[in-house]
Amino acid sequence: MKTTYTNFSIRIENFFGDDLVIFDIIAHQEDNWGDFSVFFHELDSFILKHYPEEGKYIQQIRKSIGGYGPKEEEILNVLKEENFDLEKYVIAFIENKGFITEEIKRQNKVANLEQSDKEKKEFEDFIAKLDALIPKNPINNGKFLDALEQVILKHLIDNYPELTNAEPEDIENLHQILSKYIPKLGYDLIDHIEDIRDRES
């Protein structure tokens, strides 16, 4: 059955401290249609497996950005600047799953189900409870760790100028030390801040 696609869009959502990129698209088959969403990390793995050259290129972008966390939004910005055809790979990812027809049927069936007032209320209560579990102003883990590293590096360079003339292997060792201990320190601080927020809310 022929499938056409419309309304490709990209959104960024903060899930428990990380800004994640999500691709949305609508698939049409005859008179039916369905919404499909693909997370960037899923698409990234798919591209690396099925399109190795492009996948390695995306990995190089991530490496060049540096810092902590997935950096999906930053990678996305680079890909947009270079007119990387993300929609093509999202469609390839969905079609590779082989469940488009079944998923469209399922979505249409659910949309046409009649619900009692009690069922609607139970669903609304469930969504409200789920929403309450999501932090309203989550700390961006990657940006927090990046900022922490910059503060420490600035202190070291300002107070120990010999570091600016250090050998390349010494600089590499410094970065290895920071990458080993900053995540532990950073996540402990984030947990502490969020504990305080929870008590005050």
Asked, for residue 194, whether it belongs to a domain, the answer is yes
Question: Do 34 and 105 belong together in one domain?
Answer: yes
Asked, for residue 111, whether it belongs to a domain, the answer is yes
**Per residue in 153-185, is it b (16+ CB within 10 Å) or e — as a string?**
eeeeeeeeeeeeeeeeeeeeeeeeebeeebbee
Residue type, 123: F
* C-beta of residue 49 within 8 angstroms of C-beta of residue 17: no
User: Strand pairing of 32-39 and 4-15?
Assistant: unpaired
pLDDT at position 151: 92
Predicted structure pTM score: 0.75
pLDDT at position 94: 94
127 pLDDT band, cuts 50/70/90, is low
Asked, for residue 125, whether it belongs to a domain, the answer is no
Q: What are the backbone angles phi and psi of residue 34, rounded to the nearest 5°?
A: -150, 150
Q: Which structural domain, as residue segments, surrounds residue 173?
A: 141-200
